[in-house]
Structure 1
Amino acid sequence: MIQELYNDKSGRDLADNLHYCKNIHTLNSCGADMRLIIAEKPSLARAIADALPGSTRREEGALHAGDTVVTWCLGHLLEQAPPDAYDPAYKQWRLDHLPILPERWKLAPRPKARGQLAAIRRLLKSAREVVHAGDPDREGQLLVQEVIEHLGWKGPVSRLLVSDLNRPAVARALTRLEDNSRYHALYRAAESRARADWLYGINLTRAWTLTGRQAGHDGVLSVGRVQTPVLGLVVRRDAEIRDFVPYPFHVLWVDIAVSGGQLRAWWQPAETQRLDEQGRLLERPPAEALAARLPGAEGHLASLDARQKRQAAPLPYSLSALQVDAARRFGLSAKGVLDICQRLYERHKLITYPRSDCRYLPEDHLAQARRTLESACHSDATLQQWFAGADFTLRSKAWNDKKVGAHHALSPTGKPADLGRLEKAEADVFRLIARNVLAQFYPALETREVKAEFVILDERFRASGQVLLQPGWKPLFTTRDEAPPLPPLSEGEACRVTDCAVEDRETRPPEPFTDASLIKAMMNIARYVDDPAVRRTLREHDGLGTEATRAGIIETLLERGYLVRCNKALRATRLGSGLIASLPEAASRPERTALWEQRLGAIAEQDADPAPFMTSLIADLQALLASADAARLRSAMAEARGEAGPTVSASRGRSSGKPRRSRSRAAPTRKRRTS
């Protein structure tokens, strides 16, 4: 047909147009309006196209289904333009250029994304409407919308939110399109975050790198609004471990015979003894003197406290909670868990959207839960056993629409899972995800906690135990036996000492960070803040980084040589320690960046004006730049290398959020008793 049209000039013009339409993959709809869906990544585009009615035709850069064309980004197609895009002079790094503050922000195509960006540009010319199909989070909103705006689209834009790549779920989502303008505040928050990160990272990295050159350090010193406080946590923890000075303490135990059997109790020294802040005995002679009198001594049970406790199952996972558990149970790195989740979501379609900060599930998922979990569990013996024990008449607090935001907790999609065909780590992580959802259909764990206090020779001894009344969900999480229960006890009954001993113990330093504990620290960053008012505020907001970025932050610090893995431990290198020591304390502590997240949350959720946030950031930035000092940096690097000379401590402030009680050889004493 096309060749025939070339027989005359008018035909050649039309043929040229048809060739053009074919080249941009819209031959079927050329000359007619089409709906263009822009997905965040190819896997999401394929899932959307598969859920559309009719057959799907694939050509380079797009998928066609009827009058709908689905194209995709490759993650971010655009990035903040480099400083020299604003002024060629900025290509050279100079302190007198700082701070670099763009008046009108520019975006630049990523080098490997130019072809796909051009394809989207061409497709937009034939579109009647655009559907934004970024991932349902702040970053997903940004990376598709910035492409739409950068390419100058002025027509209507709808929003498609997909958190589950299975065909039925995507088909349902396609019937629930929203006006993209509802998410403009989320976009502004993401845009503000991107610009703030650029300002902070570009200016401080240049300032400290240039100051480092003056101090004799050859290399880039990278400073970031999240990575640097995370590095600061590790540096200060390492300093606590390095500076820790242990001291001895002593405990006295007694084995006691009662009418119902025997138990072990522990001496509670009186306030007149020399104790540390945790109530530990610091001098051995009082314990030895009492131990000499105890064999065969009689006494009585002075008080008995028995309380029944009921504990609901742990909630389904957010990404960070999963990373913590998978690191502890299987030794997986945070990035390893994220990569596994992405494969389970995109390649295998076995779990819902993984980069979620939510631990609750939509209420309408409850009705399908039995069918979903049965399909997910049928090929694995462990999951089958757990599924068989589930009671689907139960409803836990996990099903709560009010607690579900842009995402819900990680859960199986219901696609039949052949765990034998997965990698071992993939199967392990999938079982954890399925287990935490299955646990919502198990009864609560019920125990009776017993605390007993005995009086013998006018001294007090305490014992505690637990009686398991209803195992509930607990067997899904551990096979370990609980502490043995106490024998039957009656308040006031007589007792007799059958054995006793004094044990010498020693205080221990804090543990070094691991992937699990560092992710947990980033989630619960308020614990590492000294200011009570700031700490209260931070408890109500997200921690350091986001679900999507925490694993990447750790990997970035490792790649840049600031951290190193020692078995499972994450330790700061000399370079990392020196950088933290050279920076103002405010730049290496979590308060600023955590409060950033709070302000960005206000922009996203309350449609707050971004301008005050940016103005405040620039003021902070100028103060930080003024503190760059070559002498301080030279001293810090020398101390990190262990060289003699003036030092700048890398351990300013506390990393653990707890008093440093064990630093001096003269252990602190106290005048009040703690249990």
Structure 2
Amino acid sequence: MRLIIAEKPSLARAIADALPGGGQRQEGAIVCGDTTVTWCLGHLLEQAAPEAYDPADKQWRLDRLPIVPGSWKLAPRAKARGQLAVIRKLIKQAAEVVHAGDPDREGQLLVQEVIEYLNYRGPVSRLLVSDLNRPAVARALSKLASNADFQPLFQAAQARSRADWLYGINLTRAWTLTGRQAGHDGVLSVGRVQTPVLGLIVRRDNAIRDFTPYPFYPLWVDIEVARGRLRAWWAPTERQPLDDQGRLVERAPADALAARLPGAEGRLAKLEQNEKRQNAPLPYSLSALQVDAARRFGLSAQTVLDVCQSLYERHKLITYPRSDCRYLPEEHLPLARKSLGGACRNDATLSEWLEGADFSLRSKAWNDKQVGAHHALAPTGKAADFATLSEMEAQVFRLVVRNVMAQFYPPLRTFEVKAEFHLLDEAFRARGQSVLDPGWKPLFTTKEDSPPLPPLTQGEPCRTREAGVEEKETRPPEPFTDASLIKAMMNIGRYVEDPEVRRTLRETDGLGTEATRAGIIETLVQRGYLVRKQKALRATKLGTALISALPAAVSTPERTALWEQRLSGIAEGSGDARAFQQALIDDLYGLLKQSDAGRLRSSLQTAQGEAAAPAKRIAQARKGAGKKTTRRKSTPARKTTRSSS
């Protein structure tokens, strides 16, 4: 008998439907001729508790830390014992086993750890399914690989699981026990990934809290040229009082210049005119989809993941969603017209987009060299029954279809102009853009980035008609949202302060994985470290106090980003799982020495006392900057702009 072990029942049913033999159901399995398909229920096994290694570690004690297993053990999850018993019985009868976990790091671990836990020693093949429709599953079944080829992926997943256990068990116990000494009654959870993510939010909240706004004063001029009028902005030089972004922070020089400008004559000193081509955004990875869906529809990262799983498993409308790839296999290109035609069949907007698609085009999205264990999210070609889809499912489905459809639209072509005018020995700059060919852009937005300028000629004379000074105010950085936090986790190098570490990070290095990022955010919310305020994610007093009390190495992303990089190296076959684990253990010894009840007590008290500080500080700053000023001509109303600090 050949035994196929799928990750979930939905995948098992899809595999059984693609096999000959009718598919006779029995307890926990489907029999299809000489092949039996069974399934896991997510993880059937978990890392054993500390007391499984030593009963003395059932009690939490600082003098027992760190707990480091000499030989690792797994234990059945309480709700999974029945299905594990089914697989145990079937695997004893199997002449061959097919590993059909999801095509990612965790999918490799989830099924392989069951196979090894049950001591199966026969041949193991690997089935990679990314599309649950019958033809796609049948094609996958015809291309089985050896599971041995995926051992680096398994070793990386196993190293991740053990690292999370070591880090979470030891540091959570250490800071929880320290918290009790500081007067906090409750578990203080510390995690290898969740804590640096919490640290990102706490530091952003602190920057917002400590931000003091100040005014600055842009000066505009309306200029008449040979073939029209335009608005330009003064570019003050360093002899003026400027901030670190080149903004004028005293009004007097702007007012003095504005008074002299009306009627002033000058010339167009510099002119740059370029035609630019911009290709369509690539098809989505899960994280990229979570970012866009959060921005467009206000959906949380976890909601997007849940919706994608429903579109994949229940409706069979999209391919495997937990992907970190934004490219598609080249063999999918000839099938794209058919799959997009099916996906668009029952929706007026999608059908309209389909009519404009040119399937003779080939974008850079079709690239086998960029595709690993899984590819970008794409429609399967099944026609959607929008009557059975929820509003969120329909919204996310259209996004997935749109980004693949956009690959068959021409590039966006624009004509961009940058002009610098010299008036009264000062420089004034203007920029504009005209659309030559909208290409793919109407599928995404109808808004133009900037209006066009009139036709210009290098060196032509100009004359000022009006001038004015605006009063704007700097703003603090925006709080994190699901969209911006997922993007930060994807591109963590931007938040790494150590320049040496930043240099070692690749663009693809991040915190967490496609499959775990949404769960990390929700875990922080559930544990009382984060709250959602409208779309914003803000740290609670407890979350702020914990980050303040922890060593910086635990709450900043540098170390975890490097660990994720090493895990990627293990998965690619270039890293050493044992060396990774030993380095983590060495770090643990140093970190545990830094637990300090006095510091934690002080952090908790400080967090309690800062609730009213931001509003009071901003009110005081605005009062100090609120002196009356005069304006030249028809100046727009007072505005604010965000500081990049």
Tell whether the structures are fold-level matches, with TM greater than 0.5. yes
Residue aligned with 2:572, SS = helix
Whole-angstrom CA distance in 1 between matches of 2:338 and 2:472: 54
Whole-angstrom CA distance in 1 between matches of 2:568 and 2:491: 17
- Counterpart in the other structure of 2:36: 69
Contact 1:541 1:597 (8 Å CA) reproduced: no
Matched, 1:146 2:113: yes
Matched, 1:247 2:235: no
Which amino acid in the other structure matches residue 380 of structure 1? D
- Counterpart in the other structure of 1:582: 549
- Counterpart in the other structure of 1:303: 270
Contact 2:491 2:507 (8 Å CA) reproduced: no
Whole-angstrom CA distance in 1 between matches of 2:408 and 2:550: 51
Residue aligned with 1:155, SS = coil
Whole-angstrom CA distance in 2 between matches of 1:482 and 1:572: 34
- Counterpart in the other structure of 1:26: none
Residue aligned with 2:38, SS = strand
Matched, 1:504 2:471: yes
Matches within 5 A, 1:441-456: 441-456=408-423
Matches within 5 A, 1:477-492: 477-492=444-459
Residue 598 (structure 1) shift: 1.1
Contact 1:196 1:617 (8 Å CA) reproduced: yes
Residue 542 (structure 1) shift: 2.6
Residue 608 (structure 1) shift: 3.0
- Counterpart in the other structure of 2:137: 170
Matches within 5 A, 1:185-196: 185-196=152-163
Contact 1:37 1:70 (8 Å CA) reproduced: yes
Residue 274 (structure 1) shift: 1.2
TM-score by length of 2: 0.94
Contact 1:53 1:66 (8 Å CA) reproduced: yes
Whole-angstrom CA distance in 2 between matches of 1:133 and 1:57: 19
Matches within 5 A, 1:566-581: 566-581=533-548
> How many matched pairs?
615
Residue aligned with 1:307, SS = strand
Residue 491 (structure 1) shift: 1.2
**Which of structures 1 and 2 has the bigger CA Rg?**
1
Which amino acid in the other structure matches residue 318 of structure 1? S
Matched, 1:137 2:104: yes
Whole-angstrom CA distance in 2 between matches of 1:448 and 1:133: 51
- Counterpart in the other structure of 2:598: 631
Which amino acid in the other structure matches residue 229 of structure 2? Q
- Counterpart in the other structure of 2:638: none
- Counterpart in the other structure of 2:522: 555
- Counterpart in the other structure of 2:636: none
Residue aligned with 1:449, SS = strand
- Counterpart in the other structure of 1:31: none
Identify the range of structure 1 (464-473 vs 607-616) with the bigger mean alpha-carbon deviation.
607-616
Matched, 1:337 2:280: no
Whole-angstrom CA distance in 2 between matches of 1:420 and 1:296: 64
Which amino acid in the other structure matches residue 519 of structure 1? I
Matched, 1:183 2:150: yes
Matches within 5 A, 1:31-110: 34-110=1-77
Residue 533 (structure 1) shift: 2.6
Residue aligned with 2:218, SS = strand
- Counterpart in the other structure of 2:250: 283
Residue aligned with 1:641, SS = helix
Matches within 5 A, 1:394-413: 394-413=361-380
Which amino acid in the other structure matches residue 157 of structure 1? V
How high is the sequence identity, in percent, across the aligned residues? 74
Residue 303 (structure 1) shift: 1.4
Whole-angstrom CA distance in 2 between matches of 1:536 and 1:395: 34
Residue aligned with 1:219, SS = coil
Residue 540 (structure 1) shift: 4.2
Residue aligned with 1:539, SS = coil
Whole-angstrom CA distance in 2 between matches of 1:407 and 1:469: 37
Residue 601 (structure 1) shift: 1.4
Give the direction of change, closer, same or farther, for the CA distance of 1:605–1:643 in structure 2 (3 Å limit): closer
Identify the range of structure 1 (533-542 vs 557-566) with the bigger mean alpha-carbon deviation.
533-542
Residue aligned with 1:542, SS = coil
Deviations 1:58-107 (A, max 9, x none): 11200011100000000000000000111111111000110001111110
Whole-angstrom CA distance in 2 between matches of 1:300 and 1:101: 74
Of 412, 433, 438, which aligns to 2:400?
A: 433
Whole-angstrom CA distance in 1 between matches of 2:363 and 2:400: 16
Which amino acid in the other structure matches residue 97 of structure 1? R
Whole-angstrom CA distance in 2 between matches of 1:259 and 1:370: 50
- Counterpart in the other structure of 2:320: 353
Contact 1:515 1:570 (8 Å CA) reproduced: yes
Whole-angstrom CA distance in 2 between matches of 1:79 and 1:336: 25
Whole-angstrom CA distance in 1 between matches of 2:292 and 2:451: 26
- Extract unaligned runs of 5+ from structure 2: 612-620, 626-645
- Counterpart in the other structure of 1:117: 84
- Counterpart in the other structure of 1:414: 381
Of 549, 559, 564, which aligns to 2:531?
A: 564
Contact 1:77 1:117 (8 Å CA) reproduced: yes
- Counterpart in the other structure of 2:632: none
Whole-angstrom CA distance in 2 between matches of 1:344 and 1:483: 37
- Counterpart in the other structure of 2:195: 228
- Counterpart in the other structure of 1:19: none
Whole-angstrom CA distance in 1 between matches of 2:597 and 2:610: 17
Deviations 1:5-45 (A, max 9, x none): xxxxxxxxxxxxxxxxxxxxxxxxxxxxx100000000000
Residue aligned with 2:135, SS = helix
Residue 611 (structure 1) shift: 1.4
Whole-angstrom CA distance in 1 between matches of 2:266 and 2:149: 72
Contact 2:432 2:451 (8 Å CA) reproduced: yes
Identify the range of structure 1 (310-319 vs 180-189) with the bigger mean alpha-carbon deviation.
180-189
Whole-angstrom CA distance in 2 between matches of 1:423 and 1:624: 47
Whole-angstrom CA distance in 1 between matches of 2:369 and 2:596: 50
Identify the range of structure 1 (600-609 vs 187-196) with the bigger mean alpha-carbon deviation.
600-609
Of 269, 285, 306, which aligns to 2:236?
A: 269
Residue aligned with 1:342, SS = helix
Residue aligned with 1:395, SS = coil
Whole-angstrom CA distance in 1 between matches of 2:388 and 2:355: 23
Identify the range of structure 1 (341-350 vs 458-467) with the bigger mean alpha-carbon deviation.
458-467
- Counterpart in the other structure of 2:165: 198
- Counterpart in the other structure of 2:486: 519
- Counterpart in the other structure of 1:647: none
Whole-angstrom CA distance in 1 between matches of 2:55 and 2:425: 83
Deviations 1:427-469 (A, max 9, x none): 0000000000000000000001101111111111111000111
Whole-angstrom CA distance in 2 between matches of 1:417 and 1:44: 20
- Counterpart in the other structure of 1:388: 355
Contact 1:163 1:353 (8 Å CA) reproduced: yes
Give the direction of change, closer, same or farther, for the CA distance of 1:636–1:166 in structure 2 (3 Å limit): same
Residue aligned with 1:351, SS = coil
Contact 1:380 1:418 (8 Å CA) reproduced: no
Residue aligned with 1:396, SS = coil
Residue aligned with 1:469, SS = strand
Deviations 1:523-578 (A, max 9, x none): 01000011223112222443101000000000000000000000000000000000
Which amino acid in the other structure matches residue 429 of structure 2? R
Residue 164 (structure 1) shift: 0.6
Which amino acid in the other structure matches residue 479 of structure 1? T
Once superposed, what is the RMSD of the aligned Cα atoms?
1.4
Identify the range of structure 1 (293-302 vs 362-371) with the bigger mean alpha-carbon deviation.
293-302
- Counterpart in the other structure of 1:467: 434
- Counterpart in the other structure of 1:9: none
Whole-angstrom CA distance in 1 between matches of 2:577 and 2:490: 25
Residue 416 (structure 1) shift: 1.1
Deviations 1:632-668 (A, max 9, x none): 1111111111189xxxxxxxxxxxxxxxxx9xx99xx
Whole-angstrom CA distance in 1 between matches of 2:578 and 2:31: 42
Residue 607 (structure 1) shift: 4.9
Whole-angstrom CA distance in 1 between matches of 2:394 and 2:206: 38
Which amino acid in the other structure matches residue 325 of structure 1? D
Residue aligned with 1:336, SS = helix
Give the direction of change, closer, same or farther, for the CA distance of 1:643–1:482 in structure 2 (3 Å limit): closer
- Counterpart in the other structure of 1:316: 283
Deviations 1:251-287 (A, max 9, x none): 1100011111110000111221111111101111111
Contact 1:40 1:144 (8 Å CA) reproduced: yes
Whole-angstrom CA distance in 2 between matches of 1:272 and 1:52: 78
